[in-house]
Amino acid sequence: MTTIIHTSKLKILAVIGLFGFTFPSIAQNPKPDSSKPKFLNQPLISDIYTADPSAHVFEGKIYIYPSHDIEAGIKENDNGDHFAMRDYHIFSIETIPGKITDHGVGLYIKNIPWAGRQLWAPDAAYKNGGYYLYFPVKDKNDIFRIGVATSYAPAGPYKPELKPIPGSFSIDPAVFTDADGSSYMYFGGLWGGQLQRWSTGNYDTSGKEPADDEPALSAKVSKMSKDMLQFAESPRDVKILDKNGNALLTKDHDKRFFEGSWMHRDNGRYYFTYSTGDTHFLAYAIGNNPYGPFTYQGTFLKPVQGWTTHHSIVKYKDKWLLFYHDTELSGKTHLRNIKVTELVHNADGTIQLIDPFVK
C-alpha cells in the first residue's frame, strides 16, 4: 500500500540551503544552542532511521532506496555488526521541497531464501520494462554476497531470486546504465564489507589489506547480463590513479577507495565516486569509459557527523543532486538519517566541495 507521509506525521525537517527552499521544522519554537553543530541540510525523514540513499529518476520522480537502520542492541565494532538491518523501505519525492511518499517495505530479509543476516546498502535499476533491486546480505555462512530482486513497479514489492548473483561478493552494489544501454555494477567495501578477504581471489578470513606502500585494494566492476540477473563477465578492478598515472597506495587513507561506489556521467566524463571510510571523505576520480582507469581529482563532501559516509548522485530537472546521510537525529553512528543538497560541476569537470556544516 502506498502511504503519503504528511508533514504532521513524519515531521519532515528543514532543508537549509537547498535551492533556497525550506521544509517545515520539527520544532515549534526551537531555542538556539551554540554548542550544537549547524547543519547545511536537515533530515528528509524522521520517523525511521535511513542511510545509504541510492536515488534514481523513475517514472518522472525521484525514488530513494536507503538502508533502514534499527537499534539491534549490538555493540559497535570494526566489522559493523551493529548495522543489523532487516528490510528496505522505498521512498519517492516529486519536487524538492515536497512531500515524501513512503511506499512501505519493498523487501524483507526473511523473504530471501539464502540470507543469513545484515542487509546493507542497496541500489536499484530499470531495464526491460522491469525494476531490479540489488542488495548485499550475509549468507548462512556469514559471507557477504549480492542478491537481486525484481518488480514491475519502482516501489515494489520486490521478489528475490532464489540464489545470490554467481561470482558476487562483498557489499555496496551500485548499477550504472550508460547511453548505449549497457549496465555495469560497481561493488566492494573494506573491513566489515569483507573485500580484503577476497584479495587472493578466494574467500579467506585471514585476508588483509596490502602493505602501506603497495597499491590499495580497489572496488570491482562487472558488466551486467542482458536480463540484469547476473554478471556478464568476471569482475575487474576499478583502477584509481594519481595525476602522475600511479596507483593510489594503501597508506593513502584520505584518497583510496574504502566503500560506497557510485557512477555518474556528465559532459562525456565518467565520475567514479566513493567513500574513503576511516578518513570520512567522499572522493571522486574521472575516466573516459565505465571501466576506467580513473584519475583521482579530490573530495567533494567533507566529513559528516557520524563514522560512515555514503551517497548517490542523480540529475533531476536540470540540477545534479547529492543524497547522503549523517547522524543528526540520533547522534549514534548506526542510526542515521538521509539528506539531499545540490552538487555543482565546474566547467573544467571538477566538482565543487560541499561542507555539511554551516560555519
CB 51 within 8 A of CB 121: yes
* Amino acid in position 111: N
In degrees rounded to 5, what are phi and psi of residue 197? -75, -10
Of the candidates 52, 172, 326, 328, the residue annotated as catalytic is: 52
Tell me 7's DSSP state: H
> Is 52 an annotated catalytic residue?
yes
DSSP string of 114-135? TEEEEE---EEEEETTEEEEEE
CB atoms inside a 10 Å sphere around CB 318 = 5
The owner of cell 573485500 is 195
In degrees rounded to 5, what are phi and psi of residue 189? -165, 140
Burial 170-203 (b: 16+ CB within 10 A, else e): bbbbbbbbeeeeebbbbbbbbbbbbbbbbeeeee
Of the candidates 69, 102, 172, 259, the residue annotated as catalytic is: 259
In degrees rounded to 5, what are phi and psi of residue 161? -70, 160
Strands 100-108 and 115-119: unpaired
* Amino acid in position 230: Q
- Residue 65 sits at the vertex; the CA angle it makes with 8 and 329, to the nearest 5 degrees, is 45
CB 157 within 8 A of CB 180: no
CB 132 within 8 A of CB 175: yes
DSSP string of 262-293? EEEEETTEEEEEEE-GGG--EEEEEESSTT--
> Is 212 an annotated catalytic residue?
no
CB 42 within 8 A of CB 115: no
**Residues known to be catalytic:** 52, 259
